């Protein structure tokens, strides 16, 4: 197996004029070092233990585990867990305002109670134990701080779909139809991807817009494509400021009242402008963002063999994070599938060019100048998710670096004048998210302390775990998917965060030390592969960690067995119980790392075109004989049809059968050849390959596949137990051994 192909050539982003200087970083590092030395000194002298002891005496009544098993039924933690379960499963299976606020309040109470209990479990016996135990507690604090901010912001979310219903009436009736420039920036994307994007944009149901193809690679074939499709073609002499510079250059060349932007691979549905333009009747609104959805499975789902089961990673962001940010006034511009008021972007100086995340900081700049950036949670377009793990890594690392450049530019959401405290809090949550990778890494490494140093960083017993930790953990599992609209289970979220954990750690460090050392890297699109590819450069840290955790598990189990058989059992019982937690922790890490390594094996993807599970009545004409059937899957290259009557002539690879295909509902009439019969059933299922399409035929096919309003639906992620079962199944039946090499069609709405 070979390494994954290298990422696309970077486009250079000019450095920002505002930077954090080296002395500030040295001061921060010196402060952390000083605090570490002080804590170690306190631990050695017993002072830290004395401080913690005084704290624990104060809160002891809140965290005293009952001595009798029957008393657990009235324990506050258990009552809170039962309350959240009843609300989320019985009284309000779908979040409503009242139920969301109650659940959020209960979760915040549980977090506080859990943190107070954790102070009782710190191991301050010596310097090394204190350091590791306090480090673990700090890692938990970081993760829970991010979660608590999210929970606080979830007290209020906003859903603008009903508002869009009313505003769309004005657009449909012609009362409000401003002129619009549709901008499609491109850098090295294949022509076949751009063709479907432009055709899809031209199919939008709106009377007053002009499409502009912004080619930053100045390719003659793309200029010819624009001429063939009848759209404007704009280029520039250089690639200064990458995508942001490309958009700013195009804005200066166009005049529409509104601007709509689609990435080169994003295809809008016909009603995109009808659903979004009406919001601009409010003069304060500068930008309307819609979700990103995808018409291909992301590489994690594909490599696990769970296409049409796992939801894309971005679903959590667009179902949970963006609605809560809309209520807080801190909506993130996603760089595609948005509509923008020209006067607002011109008044604020255009797209921000100081960062890799020009879209994110442009929305911040607009909000800081008093404009509103809003979010419509309605899937009105679809694009290509990263097609392999290498491309997935390029995209995520660019997002991390671009977001963290906030500390070094003028549009830092934490300091820029004009934002409210709640807006800053919303953006702070997004920035803090990238730092939680440190917590995740610490959790992976912590079990090694059990094996290599015999240190128990959490001093607890079974009763306390049952009373405090288990209800807290189960409550988190209960509400996790409920709060994010069933877009992701907690176990799947853990896997997604693990795959790129160590590259993200490196990127976070680099972004803080050298924020502008790397330029803009375009996510490769339109790729294909005929073999399994193992991503060694992403996998080696996980392989090393897997080996260490395997040793930790073996060693810790041996210590448990040894301690359980020594004569002085009473003196060793606390140590043994701590080791029990250690081997369970190591076993969980091993399972998760093993699945992550399987994700890093890209499965073959020989065809860059996706097939969709779309059912339409089809009519076949072969030698004046008519056959009727139903499509089961269809793409730009061909389709599969279940015939409903009659016997079909034999098909061979040497003598394919030329025929005429009609799909009356789509007004589509195509010349095709029958190339294979699938199975032995009668009437048979046949595979068709389309002959070269005329432009009119291709337009109708694109509209059928990509442009139908309502076809991109929200899909629910598997629940926690099913997710765990799926992951264990993948762990013991890797796709490289059992994967059937048959095409899987993408599920779409049958509208």
Catalytic residues: 216, 359
Q: How far apart, in whole angstroms, are the C-alpha atoms of residue 733 and residue 718?
A: 19
Gap between the Cα atoms of 472 and 736, Å rounded: 38
Task: Measure the CA–CA gap between 385 and 620, rounded to whole angstroms.
Answer: 34
DSSP character string of 649-706: PP--SSS-EEEEEEEGGGTEEEEEEEEEEESS-SS-EEEEEEPPPPHHHHHHHHHHHH
CB 191 within 8 A of CB 15: no
Consecutive H or E run containing 620 = strand 617-622
Q: Nearest CA to 427 among 526, 361, 377, 380?
A: 361
* Euclidean distance between CA atoms 498 and 494, whole angstroms: 6
Q: How far apart are the first and last CA of the chain?
A: 42
Label the pairing between strands 617-622 and 657-663. antiparallel
Residue 458 to residue 580: CA distance in whole angstroms: 11
683 upstream amide cis, omega within 30 of 0? yes
Question: What are the distances in angstroms from CA 346 to CA 283, 358, 369, 711?
Answer: 15, 15, 12, 35
Give the dihedral sign, CA 50/55/57/62.
negative
Q: Mapping DSSP to helix (H, G, I), strand (E, B) and coil, where does residue 397 land?
A: helix
Count of other CB atoms within 10 angstroms of residue 624: 5
Q: Bridge-partner residues for 209, per DSSP?
A: 180
Q: What span, in angstroms and rounded, lies between the C-alpha atoms of 527 and 524? A: 7
DSSP tag of 484: T
Cα Rg of the chain (Å, integer) = 29
Full DSSP string of 231-271: -EEE--S--TTHHHHHHHHHHHH---SEEEE--TT-EE-TT
The rounded distance, in Å, linking the Cα atoms of 216 and 227 is: 17
Q: In a 3-state reduction of DSSP, which class is residue 2?
A: strand
């Amino acid at each position: 197996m070979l390494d994954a192909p290298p990422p696309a050539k970077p486009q250079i982003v000019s450095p920002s004029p505002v930077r954090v200087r080296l002395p500030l970083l040295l001061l921060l590092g010196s402060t952390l070092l000083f605090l570490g030395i002080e804590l170690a000194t306190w631990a050695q002298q017993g002072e830290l233990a004395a401080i913690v002891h005084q704290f624990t005496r104060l809160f002891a009544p809140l965290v005293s585990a009952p001595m009798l098993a029957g008393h657990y039924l009235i324990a506050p933690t258990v009552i809170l867990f039962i309350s959240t379960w009843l609300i989320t499963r019985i009284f309000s299976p779908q979040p409503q305002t009242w139920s969301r606020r109650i659940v959020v309040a209960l979760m915040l109470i549980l977090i506080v109670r859990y943190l107070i209990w954790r102070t009782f479990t710190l191991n301050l016996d010596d310097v090394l134990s204190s350091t590791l135990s306090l480090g673990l507690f700090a890692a938990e604090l970081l993760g829970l701080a991010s979660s608590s901010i999210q929970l606080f912001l979830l007290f209020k979310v906003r859903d603008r779909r009903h508002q869009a219903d009313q505003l769309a009436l004005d657009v449909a009736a012609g009362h409000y139809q401003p002129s619009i420039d549709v901008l499609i920036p491109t850098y090295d994307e294949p022509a076949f991807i751009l063709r479907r994007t432009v055709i899809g944009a031209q199919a939008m149901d709106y009377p007053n817009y002009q499409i502009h193809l912004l080619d930053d690679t100045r390719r003659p074939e793309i200029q010819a494509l624009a001429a063939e499709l009848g759209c404007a073609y704009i280029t520039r002499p250089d690639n200064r400021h990458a995508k942001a510079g490309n958009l700013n250059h195009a804005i200066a060349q166009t005049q529409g009242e509104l601007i709509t932007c689609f990435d080169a691979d994003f295809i809008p549905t016909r009603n995109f402008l009808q659903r979004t333009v009406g919001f601009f009747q409010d003069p304060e609104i500068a930008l309307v963002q819609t979700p990103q959805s995808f018409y291909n499975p992301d590489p994690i789902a594909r490599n696990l063999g769970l296409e049409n089961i796992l939801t894309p990673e971005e679903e959590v962001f667009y179902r949970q994070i963006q609605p809560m940010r809309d209520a807080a006034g801190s909506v993130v511009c996603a760089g595609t599938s948005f509509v923008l008021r020209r006067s607002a972007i011109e008044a604020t100086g255009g797209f921000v060019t100081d960062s890799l995340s020009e879209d994110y900081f442009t929305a911040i700049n607009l909000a800081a100048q008093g404009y509103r950036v809003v979010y419509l949670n309605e899937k009105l377009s679809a694009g290509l998710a990263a097609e392999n793990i290498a491309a997935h890594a390029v995209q995520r690392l660019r997002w991390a670096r671009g977001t963290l450049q906030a500390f070094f530019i003028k549009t830092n959401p934490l300091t820029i004048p004009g934002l409210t405290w709640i807006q800053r809090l919303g953006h702070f949550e997004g920035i803090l998210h990238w730092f939680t990778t440190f917590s995740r890494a610490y959790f992976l490494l912590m079990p090694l302390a059990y094996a290599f140093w015999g240190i128990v960083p959490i001093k607890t017993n079974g009763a306390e775990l049952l009373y405090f930790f288990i209800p807290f953990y189960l409550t988190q599992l209960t509400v996790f998917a409920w709060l994010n609209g069933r877009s992701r289970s907690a176990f799947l979220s853990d896997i997604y965060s693990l795959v790129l954990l160590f590259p993200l750690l490196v990127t976070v460090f680099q972004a803080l030390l050298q924020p502008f050392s790397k330029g803009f890297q375009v996510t490769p699109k339109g790729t294909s592969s005929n073999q399994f590819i193992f991503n060694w450069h992403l996998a080696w840290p996980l392989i090393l960690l897997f080996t260490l955790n395997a040793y930790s598990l073996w060693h810790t189990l041996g210590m448990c067995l040894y301690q359980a058989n020594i004569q002085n059992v009473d003196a060793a019982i606390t140590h043994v119980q701590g080791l029990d937690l250690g081997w369970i922790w190591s076993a969980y890490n091993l399972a998760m790392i093993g699945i992550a390594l399987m994700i890093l094996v890209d499965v073959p993807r020989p065809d860059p075109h996706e097939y969709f599970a779309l059912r339409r009545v089809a009519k076949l004409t072969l030698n004046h004989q008519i056959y009727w059937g139903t499509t089961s899957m269809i793409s730009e290259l061909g389709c599969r049809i279940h015939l409903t009557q009659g016997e079909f002539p034999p098909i061979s690879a040497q003598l394919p059968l030329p025929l005429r295909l009609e799909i009356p509902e789509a007004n589509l009439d195509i010349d095709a050849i029958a190339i294979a019969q699938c199975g032995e059933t009668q009437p048979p299922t046949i595979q068709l390959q389309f002959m070269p399409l005329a432009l009119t035929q291709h337009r109708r096919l694109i509209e059928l596949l990509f442009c139908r309003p309502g076809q991109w639906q929200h899909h629910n992620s598997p629940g926690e137990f099913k997710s765990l079962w799926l992951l264990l199944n993948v762990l013991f039946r890797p796709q490289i051994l059992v994967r059937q090499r048959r095409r899987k069609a993408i599920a779409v709405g049958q509208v």
